[in-house]
Amino acid sequence: MSEKRLGFVGVGRMGGRMARRLIAAGYALTIFDTSDEAVQPLVELGARRGDSPAAVASEAETVLASLPTPPVVQAVALGPKGILEGTRVKTFIDVSTTGSTYARRVAEGLAAKGIVAVDAPVSGGIAGAERGTVAVMVSCDDATFAAVKPPLEVIGKVFHVGKRPGQGQTMKLMNNLLSAAAMAITSEAVVMGVKAGLDAKQIIDVLNAGSGRNSATQDKFPRCVLPRTFDFGFAIGLLNKDVRLCMEEAESLGVPMVVGSAVRQLLSIATASEGAEADMTDLVKSVEKWAGVRVGG
């Protein structure tokens, strides 16, 4: 990269933590978010406040974005006062989860003005963003990858998964489907065990010593479910959205998703029951209600 100034649009729970790491690493940031509460702490650390994505893209050659939904990403990139209207930006790095269709749409729209779009979704949650340990799944050409790799390495472990727009998004959707499936099936299995009179903590210990271990048994249940804190940091509504995007992409590719469809159904039920803003680990509560038991606590 030719400069140490970056732009960052969307500095909420995930983006704010990434932005802090970039500031600590010596990057000068110009930032924008619709929430002043998200912006102010970073301004106090030395970030410059922009009044729109276009303003951010007029101060930095490389702009990152961490946003909640595909339509928001498209609006920020291509809409009024968006990245497309910036006067300096050359590279747009989207660390959000949008799916490949939106990634290609954004890439095509920005390319019309000579701006290179890089899809670089991340996985690892708020804790990973805080520690700089998220997996960053980058899709772009080799030259662009070499240019964007240094700041992305501040954020997490960087993988160059493809060269075509959207391939990073495909990788992320696969990851989130597996994460959701682990949470869903572990909820059902552990609730069954508790209903049969087994101890919840011992269930998890045994699973983690055997072939049933997975990301939910190793992390989410011990940390968030057994103590009943439900604070993993990723909203169940967003996970539901990601699994829906994965199902749509699989259908477009002609790939059957029998198990994935069942996971999506349970997620949809839990989202309606617990609320879209509930933590993804709250999914277990829907299974508990049906079974009439409580796990942990």
Q: Give the active site residues.
A: 172
CA atoms of 121 and 292, how far apart (whole Å):
38
∠ Cα 269 275 281 (to 5°):
75
Whether the Cβ atoms of residue 195 and residue 291 lie closer than 8 Å to each other: yes
DSSP 233-270: S-BHHHHHHHHHHHHHHHHHHT---HHHHHHHHHHHHH
One-letter amino acid at 114 equals G
Residues whose CB falls within 8 Å of the CB of residue 85, separated by 6 or more in sequence, listed in order: 54, 57
CA atoms of 142 and 295, how far apart (whole Å):
48
One-letter amino acid at 28 equals A
CA atoms of 64 and 44, how far apart (whole Å):
20
